[in-house]
Structure formats: structure tokens, C-alpha cells
Chain A
């Protein structure tokens, strides 16, 4: 199949998958929307869909009509920061065929460690956030050694192990917060405020984006995307990771140190998740108050699947998911449809993107078409030769 056709197939397949998910969403919205008659329900559904699909960048009001809303766009870009990191983390681990699901706990641990560094380390302004984020990343990288080493040394399932770690991380952090680290003067359980030197500065801080917290973390996330892309496609290690993912036995026979690469992929994935947690924490908050897993790890898995484990595609997938999530939030506010619809939509898109045989009939047709054209071309060339 030609490259152009391959691309066309990928795009059409993605669009169909998204359309199916939106169709499911529409049906669910219709069922849950208020209204006594069919027409009323239909109206409510249209309103909800408008909020979900266009709401993230446009504001609808009766007085001012439809207006572009820069603040909401900035919100979406800000929401991309943690999920871009978890998406990259999952990309690298899944590329090596390691189903490590620890990004969820990883981002919480990273955020926690960075927060502690932000509170207790006395460092100058420029160094403080860098050190805090690096510490968060390293802490998670070290944690991920556990599932990785257990996998390579004892063949313990990294999936189960990392899932259990998520719970352990969450409870231990809650315990530490409750018992030792909470600021007792506050009404709820939260840490002491971060030192001002530790904050990651906002990129934009003007009237247009008033209230939107888009920090330089966004730029760091994009840099991380490029670095991960270079690592995966332009370095020996990245090649080894992808090769192990495609065929572990072959990688072994060709002399790669499979065990070490598997450990490397998970440690690197852990570092990315942890650093992402730190950047999210220092760029958006002024004290640590997470009391449950944030869910960024699971979104990261969806993003990695949408991106086809290609780091360069991660920001687009992350943008798509952040857009959809913002849309669902707005829908919940303005149209009274529960925001958790996002989980169902996400699940449906996920399933169809991951389904290898989805639209395989169409793919087959394209392959046949390409082959026929090639044969025709070859024939024409042959005739040309004989004629000459």
C-alpha cells in the first residue's frame, strides 16, 4: 500500500472511531437530558452537544452571541501538561511491550515529592523548581525499578505489580499527609504553602487569560515530546525498546540486552510521570492537597493508544482528550449531563483505536487497489520495453 493511502486509511479510521464514540455519547445524552416530550429532549440534546463540542473555545450567551474564549483554550492547554507527560511515559513503556500501569501512582508520587522539595528545600529561585521536578522524577524512576526488576529477574507480571503500587503510593502519601505533613491550621488536609522560589512561572498573565494558569510547564512538556521522539526514533536505546516491543526473541538473538532495556523503559517512563507530576504541582498549585489518585495515568494510557505509541503524536492526542474533558465539564455545568460521560466516550474511542481489525475490509480494498495498480504499471513498463 502506498504511503498516501496508508495515511488516508489511518485518518479515516480515526475519524470513524471518534464518530462512533460521539454517536454513543449523543444517545446517552439524549437519554439523560431533561424534557417531557421528544422534541424538548432533542433540543436539550442539541444544547448539550453544542456545549461539549464547541464550548471549550466558544462562549454562548444570549446577550453577546457566540464569542471566542481565549481563557478556556488556555485552560485546555494547561490541562494537557500532566497528561502529555503520562502519555509519553506510557508510550515508552508500551513500546517495549511492558504493560506497566504505574503512571497513575507515579504522577501522584512525583507531585508529592516535588511538593515536599518545594516546601522544605532552601534553594535560589532558578534552581528550586528544577531540583524539585528532578527529585520528583527520580523518586518515581526508582519506584519503577521494583516492577521492572521483578519482571526481568523473576518474571512477575509488571502489570499487577504496578497496579498494586498505585494503591500503596496513594495510601502512604495520605498517611504521611494526615500524620506528619498537614498544615494543622487549615480546615482541610493540605500541606504548608510552597516556597515562592519554587513556582514555575506562568507564560501568559494578562487580562485576556485572566485566571487561566498556563505555566512554562507547557513549553517543557513540548520539549519533552521532542526529546522523547528523538530518543525513540533516533537513538540506539529507543531502537532497542521498539525492537523488543515488536519481537523480543529476535531482539535477544541479535544481541540486545533485553533485560536491561526493559528496565530502562520502565525507569524512563517512571521518570517522565514523576516529572510531569512535579511540573503540574509547581505550575498550578501553591500547596499539596491531592487526596486521591488524579486519573492522569489512565488518560495517559488512552493518549498513548490514540498516538499509536508515537511520542510526536502525543500532544495532539493530549489536546484532543483535554478538549473533550473540558467539553464534558461545560456540558455538566450548562446542560446538567453528568461529566463522567467523558469516561464512557474515552473508553469507546480507546476500544476502536486499539481494534486492529476495525475497518479491515476497507483496508483490504485499499491494499488490493494498490496491488492492481502496481501490476498495471509493471505490465505497461514491460510492454514499453518490448515495444522498444
Chain B
């Protein structure tokens, strides 16, 4: 047990927590913004799969990670707009749209991968891991001064570009939601679309923007999965991160900071699972840990929230009776 704790107290372990949290943070931010606009996008999983595939393929064919990265973002945004079209224009239940995208994201990406590699390479490939080399991945960044600090340097420096962006985006998204007129519009559409529309806000447009934002974030997440976390795309590689993000959004109370912390908790659970299997536990016993933590986290969050609401109610009731007695 003590030995095991020793393994955990290494900078590598903390480094891996941050690394594993990054894609969950992107997806959580996506979930937070659409939730603020008053709906749920459960298609994040599928969006990330499509972005991951297009990112790795384009970076291979263009020979540069940058174009692949842009392609991943564009794929995420375009597909989210298609989702928006079905949800807002054709009035499909947004949850069903999400399910459909997830279905296509699982097998459909494999279909596209086989077809595209077959057209250009001559033989169908079931993953792009053979195509992507280290130079086609999004680069890691060493932070000049910080990497000299003994323990902290090894934890904080040397991460992927996108990992830093993930944490930066938490701040930026928070600013966007609370300090800009766009954020105000998004929140007002989510809270009361009729009131928002009565003061001249186009509800449809704002919903599309929120949807596109979630697509953009999924694009970042997908690019991270296939061009930083792993080298290349393989089937079902997102493995539930899009769903975990929905839980992180709920656990974080729908706010960016809380969502980020929840995402890090899941990152911790996953890193712990990986360490478990490193010391000889069956990986099938370690793999479900993040999913179990998600359920436990949701329950804890719900209990805390319910208690708070109850307290508020009883406080309000006390105030009322106190006020009456004074009068």
C-alpha cells in the first residue's frame, strides 16, 4: 500500500492527470455552454470521433499537423451545425439527434476511414495509427522558467499545446458567458427564450451559435485524442469521454470552474486506473473506475444540491414566520 502511494506521489502521475483531463475539459465546456443556452448536446461523443478522424487523416495527407488540427475544428463545427439544423429547424428531439450522431460516430467513422484510406492508399485500414508519426502530432510545449522548478516543473511543463489551451479556455469561456453580450444572450435564451426574443434577441441564432461552440470544443477534444493523446485514430477511441463530460457539467453545477474541477476528478480516476493496471491489477477492473466515479459524483452532487435547496427553503420559511411575529 505504501509502495503504491509512493508511485502516486511522483510528478509523472500528476502530469498524467492533467494530460488525461484535457479532452474531458474541452467536452465539458461544450456541455456547459449548450446547457446555458437551454438544451443538452449528448452527441459530443460522436462529434469528437468525427473530428479525431478528420484531424488525423488531413494531417497525414497535408503532411502538417496544423491543417489536420484546423480540419478537426471545422469538422466539429460543421457537424454540430447539421445537428442544429435537425434540432431547431426540423424540430427533432435534441437528445435523439445526439444519439444519431453517436451511432454514426461509432461505426460510420470506421466506414469513412476504410473508404478514404482505400481510395488513396490502396488498402482499407481500420485505424490511422500507422499513418500518424510524432511530427504529425500537435507539438508539446516546454515552458521556459517553470520547467526548472523541481517537482512542479515536471508536472506543469512539457504538456501538449492543446492541454494548455483546455485550461485557458475554461477562463475564456467563463469570461464569454459572464462578461460579453453574447454570453448574456446565451444565458437569457436558456433561462427564458420568450423574454429574450421579446427584447430582440434571435433565439434561433443564439442556439446555433451555442451549438457551433460545442462543435468547436469537440473539435479541440477530437484533435487532442487522435493527434496528441494517441498517435492516430482508432475505433471508439473517445470511449465515453463525451458522456463523462455531461456528468462533469452537472457535477460542476453548470459553471466553468466547477466543470473543470470535475473533469480533473475524472482525469484523476482514469490516471489511477492506469496506475492500478501498472501494478498488476487486471485492467478490466481498473477501466470502469472513471465511469463508476461519474455515477458516484453525480449522486454526491445531487445530494448536496438538494440539501442546499432544502436549507434555502427552510431559511426562507423561518424569515417569513419571523417577519410575521415582528409585525
Contacts and interface: CB of A to CB of B under 8 A. Distances in A.
Interface of A: 28, 31-32, 99, 101, 146, 150, 154-157, 159-161, 163-165, 167-168, 171-172, 174-175, 178-179, 298, 301-302, 305, 338, 340-344, 346-347, 350-351, 354-358
7 contacts: A154-B302, A157-B298, A164-B244, A167-B240, A340-B111, A347-B101, A351-B92
Contact of A354 (B100, B110, B240, B295): B100
B302 A340 contact: no
A28 B240 CA distance: 27
Interface string B93-127: 10111011101101110110011001100001000
Nearest to B45: A163
Contacts of B16: none
Given A167-B240, A344-B111, A160 B250 contact: yes
The 3 A-B pairs with the shortest beta carbon distances in the complex, nearest first, are A343-B107, A355-B90, A340-B111
B108 A340 contact: yes
Contacts of B114: 32, 338, 340
Interface residues of B, number: 46
B220 interface: no
B243 A351 contact: no
B91 interface: yes
Contacts of A305: 96
A32 B91 CA distance: 32
Contacts, number: 135
A156 B298 contact: yes
Nearest to B101: A347
B67 interface: no
A164 B285 contact: no
Chain A's interface: helix, strand, loop or mixed, by majority? helix
B295 A161 contact: yes
A131 B186 CA distance: 54
A301 B99 CA distance: 9
B136 to A, nearest CB: 24
Interface stretch (B2-10, B200-208, B253-261, B286-294): B286-294
Contacts of B288: 167-168, 171-172
Contacts of A171: 284-285, 287-288, 291
Given A32-B115, A163-B240, A354 B97 contact: yes
Contacts of B103: 298, 302, 343, 346-347, 350
A338 to B, nearest CB: 4
Contacts of A301: 99
B118 A344 contact: no
A178 B241 CA distance: 25
B299 A340 contact: no
A28 B89 contact: no
A156 B95 contact: no
A53 to B, nearest CB: 18
